[in-house]
Amino acid sequence: MDPKSLIKDIDHLVSLPDICIKVNQIMGAANYSATQVADIIIQDTDISARLLRLANSALYGQQARVETLSRAVAILGADELRNLVMATSAMRTFTNIPDELVNMTDYWRHSVTTGVMSQILAKRCNTLHSERLFVMGMLHDVGRLVIYLTLPEKATEILQITGGDNWVLPETEAQLLGFTNMDVGAELMRSWGLPDSFVAVTGHHHHPDQTTEHKLEVSLVHIAKAIANGEMVGLSVDEMLWAIAPSAWDATGLNTEIVAPMVDEMLLKSNEVMSLVLAPAKQKQA
């Protein structure tokens, strides 16, 4: 039993929509246009609706309403739209997980909050293409879902031991499984053909000091995750920031004095984006 075998097993339980495969294929070609990408995405009304809602959210701050996918491509860029397709598809893909293992609304609330905060912090650091941090943050914990689906009995045992404490989860998984959800998540990112930065973030967001590649992105998601974790359990801002690894502050140039005043506004934006992402696809845009 290892992460690669779990990812192979997951193919029998869930599969990404054809749209994801088509988008990845066309973007792997030497020449493609943003219009071609939009033409593929528009075939899936569920994903199209979610992407348009995101393009109109506070996350992207557009002055004029985005009405079409072609306009969304122009605003976000084909690469970013491809990443958002993967993220929204993941939400639809992982749906058959027993409630006793995880409340999926809470799971995606945490994931979206981490994504929104990762992007905001990336902008604060003047990170190039900061939009990609939203999807990195949103997918950072996806390895947990793979374990829930493929190893439900082991997952139950792990959750009983940890008592829901996410900070001791990787160590417990390593003891019982020989690997962690981060190892599984990194393997899933590879199988989905996402960039190496996604692999690094998914595989090292818990311990940013253990990676030498894409350290900035890993550290940004680590900081965002700590705040999102704290928000879920009702910690104060000081308690949220206490859990952040010193190496993450060093890699980003951020510190508690910079981030603490940003927390309330980041949570407000997260709540707005979360309501759009988690809403039924048929819901009209506000």
CATH classification at residue 55: 1.10.3210.10
Query: pLDDT over 90 for what percent of the chain?
Result: 44
Residue 285 lies in a domain: no
DSSP-derived secondary structure for 176-201: HHSS-HHHHHHHHHHHTT--HHHHHH
At 57 the pLDDT is 80
Q: What is the mean pLDDT of the chain?
A: 87
Total domains in the fold of the chain: 1
DSSP-derived secondary structure for 91-133: HHH-----TTT--HHHHHHHHHHHHHHHHHHHHHTT-TTTTHH
Q: For residue 16, report the phi and psi dihedrals to the nearest 5 degrees.
A: -70, 150
Residue 70 lies in a domain: yes
Does the pTM surpass 0.75? The reply is: yes
Residue 283 lies in a domain: no
- Kindly tell me if the per-residue pLDDT of 283 is higher than 50: no
The Cα angle at residue 267 between residues 265 and 269, in degrees rounded to 5: 70
The stretch 12-19 carries a mean pLDDT of 73
- Kindly tell me if the per-residue pLDDT of 259 is higher than 90: yes
At 39 the pLDDT is 87
Residue 164 lies in a domain: yes
- Kindly tell me if the per-residue pLDDT of 8 is higher than 70: yes
- Kindly tell me if the per-residue pLDDT of 88 is higher than 90: no
- Kindly tell me if the per-residue pLDDT of 265 is higher than 80: yes
Residue 188 lies in a domain: yes
Residue 286 lies in a domain: no
Residue 114 lies in a domain: yes
Residue 143 lies in a domain: yes
Does 226 or 30 have the greater pLDDT score? Answer: 226
Phi/psi class of residue 179: alpha, beta or left (left: φ > 0; alpha: ψ in -120 to 50)?
Answer: beta
Confidence of residue 286 (pLDDT cuts 50, 70, 90): very low
Residue ranges making up the domain that contains 18: 3-278
Confidence of residue 15 (pLDDT cuts 50, 70, 90): low
Chain segment 91-150, per-residue pLDDT in tens: 878 877 888 888 888 899 999 999 999 999 999 999 988 888 998 999 999 999 999 999
One-letter amino acid identity for 41?
Answer: I
Residues 6+ apart with CB under 8 A from 238: 256, 260
- Kindly tell me if the per-residue pLDDT of 281 is higher than 60: no
At 284 the pLDDT is 42
